[in-house]
């Protein structure tokens, strides 16, 4: 018998961070799954009893009931439902020893999560949406200037770059920003001149943030492309 398509299968997503739930909903819906979301373990247990759930995606670190607590309760009540643990901090030894989780993926890899979900459900690998711009791995400090709350000044947030593309970048910052928030980026890669660009937050997963560039001038675009060309050469050397 050939695997069933993703369409029509319901996935319960459990995370105490609203932005993560939004991202999971977006990724799962894009490949044909139906996502229902729970903000904590108690909601997850209620939804699993109320709906016919085909799989569960669980955050590991949550208040009151941890991911393993929820997995233990769900496996007892619904042993046939596969559970995928998805978190920024995964103690794999503890998770494996518990024997409650069918798979686990780190939070920085949402596309890997979709592929792993399809695998444990016996679905064909979904066709993932390709990025508009190729991303290149990079590691370099950067700073963001954002308006200071309740004042006319600015505050500076430090961060570490993880990847860079023509349309934006990803990195870890020493603080929290919300999707839609705008900042002035100052980035100095060793291989490139200092880049100064405006960027808007697209998503946040724990301390990892994704940004898109906005209001880019032709001169800035040219400098950015030169930098990416250098990174591209280094990536394949």
Q: Given this model, what pLDDT does residue 92 score?
A: 63
Residue 230 · residue 191 · CB < 8 Å: yes
Which domains does the chain carry?
10-121 (3.40.50.2300), 136-235 (2.40.10.220)
- Determine the Cα–Cα distance for residues 108 and 225; give it in Å rounded to an integer: 25
Q: What is the pLDDT of residues 92-119, one digit of tens each?
A: 666 665 567 777 777 666 778 888 999 9
The contacts of residue 72 (CB under 8 Å, 6+ apart) are: 98, 100
Residues 172-193: tens digit of each pLDDT: 898 888 888 899 999 888 778 8
- State which residues of the chain have pLDDT below 70: 1-7, 89-99, 107-109, 128-133, 205-206, 233-237
pTM of the full predicted structure?
Answer: 0.58
Q: Would you say 198 and 184 are in contact if contact means Cβ atoms under 8 Å apart?
A: yes
pLDDT of residue 38: 94
pLDDT at 235: 47
């Amino acid at each position: 018998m050939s695997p069933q398509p993703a369409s029509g299968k319901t996935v319960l997503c459990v995370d105490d961070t609203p932005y993560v739930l939004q991202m999971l909903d977006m990724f799962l819906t894009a490949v044909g799954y139906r996502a229902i979301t729970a903000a904590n373990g108690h909601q997850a247990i209620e939804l699993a009893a109320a709906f016919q759930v085909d799989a569960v995606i669980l955050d590991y670190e949550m208040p009151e009931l941890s991911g393993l607590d929820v997995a233990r309760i769900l496996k007892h009540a619904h042993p046939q439902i596969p559970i995928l643990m998805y978190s920024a901090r995964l103690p794999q030894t503890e998770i494996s020893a518990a024997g409650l989780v069918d798979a686990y993926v780190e939070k920085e890899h949402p596309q890997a999560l979709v592929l792993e979900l399809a695998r444990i459900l016996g679905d064909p690998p979904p066709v993932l949406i390709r990025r508009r711009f190729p991303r290149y791995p990079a590691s370099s400090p950067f700073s963001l200037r954002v308006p200071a709350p309740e004042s006319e000044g600015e505050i500076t947030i430090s961060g570490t770059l993880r990847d860079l593309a023509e349309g934006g970048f990803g990195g870890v910052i020493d603080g929290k920003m919300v999707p839609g928030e705008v900042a002035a980026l100052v980035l100095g890669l060793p291989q490139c001149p200092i880049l100064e660009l405006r960027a808007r937050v697209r998503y946040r997963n724990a301390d990892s943030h994704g940004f898109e560039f906005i209001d880019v001038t032709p001169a800035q675009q040219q400098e950015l492309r030169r930098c990416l060309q250098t990174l591209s050469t280094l990536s394949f050397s």
